């Protein structure tokens, strides 16, 4: 999977643009990787959302409010998606393969035919790890939608302030992760870069209304079951109360099942179980996973110490949840879009996160697209893998970016010091000679220091 060219008409902040992506990827070798840079509000999210919308919408037939033409390589063939005037045209090797209207209503049989045609054209996945605040990105298909879902979305706004036990996608992601040994190997490589190792254990939790709350210890299991059954059969119950009682019947059934399962403690405290046990439990309790039974996180080893997920720092948890979710959802020929992968990472991890993710996407022949404001992320890339977006215009970066430092990055256009330097310079000019010298000695060897030091020597050369 490799995106070759994108043409877009004016949309939101973006102008009419046509640009080809890196033909020969000199470095890093492997799957396609593309970094988008420039300040906030320049259009990076708009471009990423357009790419995700078009690949999702060929399946869902969603109406779009922009025109776009994307060429990409898939299964050694040239594929093209053209969307204009509410019509999709799908081409293979420049020949029309399939044409259809967006927003069209189909019967069940035609939906199945449409789904089969799309899977022949492209059967990859759009994998999003983004900060969504106003529905910029498409949603996954509804549960009752006929056809395959080509989108998996991890909205990081949902992680902030969220108790991970109530976040079902973590549970589902860990289950997918456990079912794929190659992903476990990739995860180990990724985590080792971040100084972690998988311990082979997973934190599992049973929700309190199953484990602790709704059952009186004085009642037998049979009494508890029939008490719930009586509530359901009562003629005085409203439909809402009947539904609630039926839900409790399901809880009682689960309670009785857990009561006889020697692998699990019937309490709401976190319990650590082996990969193999959790995989078996997730199969046996599949209808309850992510609803009553949650997988909270992977057990890890750090500095030769075994740690449960709860013992990690807040941002270590964020790192693990975000990137293990990405790895768990990764499939062959995917498009992985990550907004600001550097968030909450220390400088060392910022250096390592993109190389580690690129190794994973290479294993699955997938395209990695990310946005960033940090030179430590870009310095891993040859400049033909970098696009800058300025005033709605998308351009390739001509300046070298490989192993760039902060000041090389500034030359591309991401000025990082002007406000600090302005205030520092104003303060400097109010100081006496001794204070000026102390301030200069406290500054790192940067261009601004060289300028002020030259002035200092010129002003005080006779003293």
Task: List the structure tokens of 167.
Answer: 């976040």
Q: Is 289 helix (H, G, I), strand (E, B) or coil?
A: strand
Sign for the CA dihedral angle at 323, 325, 331, 335 comes to negative
Q: Enumerate residues 6+ apart whose C-beta is below 8 A from 281.
A: 204, 263, 264, 273, 293
Phi/psi of residue 14, each to 5°?
-80, 140
Nearest to 98 by CA among 75, 124, 65, 122: 122
Q: Please state, in angstroms and rounded to a whole number, the distance separating the CA atoms of residues 244 and 437.
A: 74
Q: Please state, in angstroms and rounded to a whole number, the distance separating the CA atoms of residues 387 and 70.
A: 16
Model confidence, pTM:
0.78
Q: Please state, in angstroms and rounded to a whole number, the distance separating the CA atoms of residues 8 and 113.
A: 29
Maximum Cα interatomic distance, the chain, rounded to a whole number of Å: 102
Q: Please state, in angstroms and rounded to a whole number, the distance separating the CA atoms of residues 335 and 299.
A: 29
pLDDT tens over the chain, length 463 residues:
899 999 998 888 888 888 888 667 878 888 999 999 887 888 899 999 999 999 999 999 999 999 999 999 999 999 999 999 999 999 999 999 999 999 888 888 999 999 999 999 999 999 999 887 777 888 887 766 778 888 888 877 665 544 444 455 578 778 888 888 887 888 887 788 778 888 889 888 888 767 654 444 455 555 554 445 455 455 444 556 555 655 667 777 888 888 889 998 877 788 889 999 999 999 999 988 888 888 877 888 988 898 887 788 877 877 887 887 788 888 899 999 999 988 878 888 888 888 888 988 998 999 999 998 887 888 888 888 899 888 888 888 888 888 777 666 666 665 555 556 777 888 888 988 888 888 888 887 667 788 888 888 888 876 5
């Amino acid at each position: 999977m490799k995106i070759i060219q994108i043409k877009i008409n004016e949309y939101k902040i973006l102008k009419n643009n046509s640009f080809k992506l890196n033909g020969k990827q000199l470095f890093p070798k492997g799957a396609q990787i593309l970094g988008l840079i420039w300040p906030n509000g320049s259009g990076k999210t708009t471009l990423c959302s357009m790419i995700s919308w078009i690949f999702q919408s060929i399946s869902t037939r969603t109406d779009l409010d922009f025109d776009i033409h994307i060429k990409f390589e898939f299964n050694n063939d040239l594929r093209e998606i053209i969307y204009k005037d509410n019509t999709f045209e799908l081409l293979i090797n420049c020949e029309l393969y399939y044409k259809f209207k967006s927003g069209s209503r189909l019967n069940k049989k035609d939906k199945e035919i449409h789904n089969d045609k799309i899977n022949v054209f492209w059967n990859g996945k759009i994998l999003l790890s983004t900060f969504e605040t106003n529905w910029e990105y498409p949603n996954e298909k509804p549960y009752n939608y006929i056809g395959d879902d080509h989108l998996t979305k991890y909205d990081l706004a949902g992680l902030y302030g969220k108790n991970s036990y109530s976040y079902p996608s973590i549970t589902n992601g860990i289950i997918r992760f456990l079912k794929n040994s190659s992903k476990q190997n990739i995860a180990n490589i990724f985590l080792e870069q971040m100084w972690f190792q998988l311990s082979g254990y997973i934190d599992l939790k049973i929700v309190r209304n199953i484990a602790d709350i709704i059952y009186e210890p004085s009642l037998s299991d049979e009494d508890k079951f029939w008490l719930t059954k009586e509530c359901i059969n009562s003629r005085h119950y409203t439909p809402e109360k009947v539904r609630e009682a039926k839900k409790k019947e399901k809880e009682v059934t689960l309670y009785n099942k857990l009561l006889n399962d020697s692998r699990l403690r019937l309490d709401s405290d976190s319990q650590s179980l082996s990969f193999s046990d959790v995989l078996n439990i997730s199969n046996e309790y599949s209808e309850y996973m992510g609803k009553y039974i949650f997988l909270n996180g992977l057990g890890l080893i750090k500095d030769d110490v075994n740690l449960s997920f709860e013992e990690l720092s807040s941002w270590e948890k964020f790192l693990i949840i975000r990137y293990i979710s990405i790895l768990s959802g990764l499939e062959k020929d995917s498009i992985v879009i990550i907004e600001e992968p550097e968030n909450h990472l220390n400088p060392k991890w910022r250096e390592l996160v993109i190389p580690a993710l690129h190794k994973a996407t290479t294993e699955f022949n997938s395209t990695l697209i990310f946005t960033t404001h940090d030179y430590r992320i870009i310095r891993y890339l040859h400049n033909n893998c970098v696009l800058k977006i300025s005033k709605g215009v998308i351009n390739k970066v001509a300046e070298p970016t490989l192993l760039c430092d902060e000041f090389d990055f500034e030359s591309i256009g991401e000025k990082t010091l002007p406000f600090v330097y302005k205030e520092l310079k104003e303060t400097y000019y109010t100081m006496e000679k001794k204070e000026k010298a102390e301030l200069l000695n406290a500054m790192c060897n940067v261009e601004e220091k060289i300028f002020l030091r030259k002035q200092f020597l010129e002003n005080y050369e006779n003293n």
